[in-house]
């Protein structure tokens, strides 16, 4: 069988990322499942969460003190009549009606501000003598209270579908009584590592063999990004066996391969995919580490049309390249398959501790350490032996992003930081 040549396209980092984002925009999850709120952290909502009533449902005092009419305090100190007390959670107020001129009500944080009152004076500015209270500080209307429905109106959307839940989202769901939530099923990602030198982690490697670390770092990244990893057997650098495993992997929601995508004689991944009539959207990105990264789409039953079927990524086998290219390219596709609305790649910024000199031409994501406290953070590259150096990346806590057009970045320069 003649092998169709892979049309190589090496894109800039931005264009490669955009290509993934464009495909991800057309990907949608189909399966919905119900989870209890306690299991909902990091899950993606498949239903919007609505306010079941106004929030707050009453004008809520934010302080312990006295509910007053602000006009009564146009001159201070002022003495007011205390006509009652309102505790949080009490349904029947022990006050006759709306607050009248010259009256105040003792009130607790979280309690409803009574009709007639338009502000709350903090207890710190008051002095109580029996049924009278002396107030030493003016208030403006609305001070120390949250008006009814100021946070949300009954029936409004509090969190939309497509949002990955975190603790504020869980608190909101709890606050409207959602003990069960509809979420999207986690996408299943097949992980296929390739290479004759790669052995299982419980094997004793021969002198030139390497244990398979990539499948495990990928499984961790996949899980953290909201997917489920299915580890396939290690594929040898041999076309037929590789093809069988690729076909198996294409049954998943997304196939991630590592290794075998460089220019070496036994880097067969692209060739085998090409035989299977895969479509390639790019076969490299101008980045370091991770230049040989491949993105495409292929049908397990082969032959037919290009660019249909399951999306796949071929990630370079060097462990740091695998980790970086996952974050840059696989993550947006995984998130789309998980039902999450599109997330732009976000960077922090920090100042360089030491000058960097580097050859231009590639966008670089170099293992680095962000240190310092909240007022003065600094970033410094970690010494490394290149993209095979797992120990170096394990010593780092982030990646410093070097744009492709910079040769020298002086100490003190602002630099983008990718937090994995
Ligand atoms: P490749 O992309 O196949 O040329 O592999 C590049 C480098 O990454 C080689 O040194 C491989 O031994 C190493 N490598 C490939 N796959 C893995 C893996 N699953 N775990 C650890 N190292 C790997
Ligand atoms: Mg290899």
The residues with which 152 forms a beta bridge, in sequence order, are 55
Q: What is the dihedral of CA 150, 155, 157, 162, to 10 degrees?
A: 160
Return the pLDDT at 62. Answer: 97
- Per-residue pLDDT, averaged over 407-420, amounts to 96
The closest-lying atom of ligand 1 relative to the alpha carbon of residue 237 is 3
* Residue 134 DSSP symbol: E
Nearest ligand atom owner, CA of 291: 1
- pLDDT, tens digit, for every residue of 351-388? 999 999 999 999 999 999 999 988 889 999 999 999 99
Task: pLDDT band for 207, please (50, 70, 90 cuts).
Answer: very high
SS (H, E, C) 372-410: EECCEEEEEECCCCCCCCHHHHHHCCEEEEECCCCCEEC
Q: What is the pLDDT of residue 266?
A: 82
pLDDT of res. 91: 74
Distance (Å) from CA 223 to ligand 2 centroid: 25
> Model confidence at 306, in pLDDT bands (50, 70, 90)?
low
**Cα(317) to centroid(ligand 1), Å:** 4
pLDDT of residue 6: 63
Residue 310 Cα, ligand 1 centroid: separation in angstroms?
24
CB hemisphere CA count around 231 (13 angstroms): 15
Question: Which of ligand 1's atoms lies nearest the C-alpha of 260?
Answer: 3
- Edge-first strand listing for the sheet containing 188-193: 228-231, 188-193, 254-258, 310-315, 294-298, 279-282
- φ and ψ at 88, to 5 degrees? -60, 135
Return the ligand number nearest the Cα of 262: 1
pLDDT of 2 above 50: no
Mutation pick for ligand 1 pocket among 257, 318, 388 (CB with most ligand atoms within 8 Å)? 318
Average pLDDT over residues 344-357: 96
97 pLDDT higher than 70: yes
Beta-sheet pairing, 348-352 with 310-315: unpaired
Instruction: Report pLDDT for 307.
Output: 64
Return the structure tokens found at 325.
């290219």
Distance 225 CA to ligand 1 centre (A): 23
Distance CA 205, CA 318 (A): 17
Protein residue with least CA distance to atom 15, ligand 1: 317
87 or 16, greater pLDDT: 16
| CB-CB contact of 133 with 123 (8 Å) | no
What would the mean pLDDT of 261-280 be, rounded to a whole number? 91
- DSSP helix, strand, coil percent of the chain (3-state; round to 5): 20, 30, 50
User: Which atom number of ligand 1 is nearest to the Cα of residue 292?
Assistant: 2
Q: Which tokens in the block code for residue 266? A: 């036994």
Atom 14 of ligand 1, residue of closest alpha carbon? 317
Task: Give ligand 1 pocket residues (Cβ under 6 A).
Answer: 193, 195, 197-198, 210, 212-215, 258-262, 264, 267, 316-319, 388
Place of tokens 């505790």: 87
Ligand nearest the Cα atom of residue 219: 1
The whole-angstrom separation of Cα 300 and Cα 246 is 8
**Residue 203 clears pLDDT 50, i.e. is over it:** yes
Q: Strand, coil or helix: what is 196?
A: coil
Q: Please tell me what DSSP assigns to residue 237.
A: S
Residue 193 has a pLDDT of 98
Mean of pLDDT over the chain: 95
Q: Which residue has the tokens 């449902």?
A: 57
pLDDT > 90 in the chain, percent: 90
Sign for the pseudo-dihedral over CA of 79, 80, 84, 87? negative
Of 183, 138, 230, the residue nearest 43 (C-alpha) = 183
What does the block give as tokens for 118?
């338009």
Please choose, from the candidates 130, 193, 156, the residue with its C-alpha nearest in 3D space to the C-alpha of residue 53: 156
Question: What is the mean pLDDT of the segment spanning 129-144?
Answer: 97
- Report pLDDT digits (tens) over 151-197: 999 999 999 999 999 999 999 999 999 999 999 999 999 999 999 99
- pLDDT given at position 3: 46
- Split at pLDDT 50, 70, 90, the class of 303 is low
Cα(139)–Cα(120) distance, integer angstroms? 8
Q: pLDDT band for position 265 (50/70/90)?
A: confident
- Asked if residues 215 and 173 have their Cβ atoms less than 8 Å apart, the reply is no
**Ligand 1 atom nearest 194 alpha carbon:** 16
Find the 315 Cα to ligand 1 centroid distance in Å.
10
Give yes or no for residue 391 having a pLDDT over 70.
yes
Q: Which residues contact 183 (CB under 8 A, 6 or more apart)?
A: 32, 33, 34, 35, 40, 43, 44, 45, 46, 165, 339
pLDDT in tens, 56-67: 999 999 999 999
């Amino acid at each position: 069988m003649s092998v169709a040549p892979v049309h190589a396209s090496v894109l800039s980092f931005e264009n490669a990322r955009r290509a993934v984002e464009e495909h991800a925009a057309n990907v949608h999850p189909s399966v919905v499942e119900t989870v209890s709120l306690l299991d909902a952290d990091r899950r993606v909502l498949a239903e919007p969460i609505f306010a079941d009533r106004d929030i707050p449902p009453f004008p809520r005092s934010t302080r312990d003190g006295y509910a007053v009419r602000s006009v009564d305090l146009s001159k201070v100190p002022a003495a007011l009549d205390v006509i009652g007390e309102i505790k949080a959670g009490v349904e029947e107020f022990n006050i006759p009606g709306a607050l009248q001129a010259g009256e105040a009500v003792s009130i607790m944080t979280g309690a409803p501000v009574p009709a007639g009152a338009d502000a709350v004076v903090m207890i710190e500015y008051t002095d109580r003598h029996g049924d009278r209270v002396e107030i030493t500080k003016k208030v403006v209307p609305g001070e120390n209270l949250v008006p009814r429905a100021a946070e949300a109106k009954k029936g409004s959307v509090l969190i939309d579908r497509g949002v990955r839940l975190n603790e504020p989202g869980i608190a909101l769901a709890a606050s409207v009584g959602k003990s069960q939530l509809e979420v999207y099923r986690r996408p299943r990602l097949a992980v296929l590592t390739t290479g004759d030198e790669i052995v299982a982690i419980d094997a004793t490697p021969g002198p030139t063999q390497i244990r398979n670390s990539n499948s495990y770092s990928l499984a961790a990244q996949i899980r953290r990004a909201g997917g489920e990893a299915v580890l396939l057997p290690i594929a040898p650098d041999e076309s037929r066996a590789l093809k069988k495993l690729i076909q198996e992997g294409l049954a998943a929601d997304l196939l991630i391969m590592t290794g075998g995508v460089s220019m070496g004689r036994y880097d067969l991944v692209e060739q085998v995919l090409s035989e299977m009539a895969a479509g390639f959207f790019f076969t490299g990105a101008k980045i370091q580490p991770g230049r040989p990264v491949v993105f495409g789409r292929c049908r397990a039953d082969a032959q037919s049309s290009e660019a249909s079927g399951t999306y796949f990524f071929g990630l370079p086998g060097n462990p740091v390249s695998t980790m970086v290219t996952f974050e840059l390219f696989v993550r947006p596709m995984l998130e789309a398959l998980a039902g999450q609305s599109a997330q732009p790649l976000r960077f922090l910024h920090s100042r360089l501790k030491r000058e960097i000199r580097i050859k231009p031409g590639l966008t670089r994501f170099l293992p680095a350490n962000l240190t310092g406290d909240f007022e003065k953070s600094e970033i410094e590259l970690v010494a490394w032996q290149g993209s095979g150096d797992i120990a170096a990346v394990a010593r780092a806590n982030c990646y410093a992003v070097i744009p492709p057009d910079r040769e020298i970045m002086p100490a003190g320069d602002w630099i983008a930081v990718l937090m994995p």
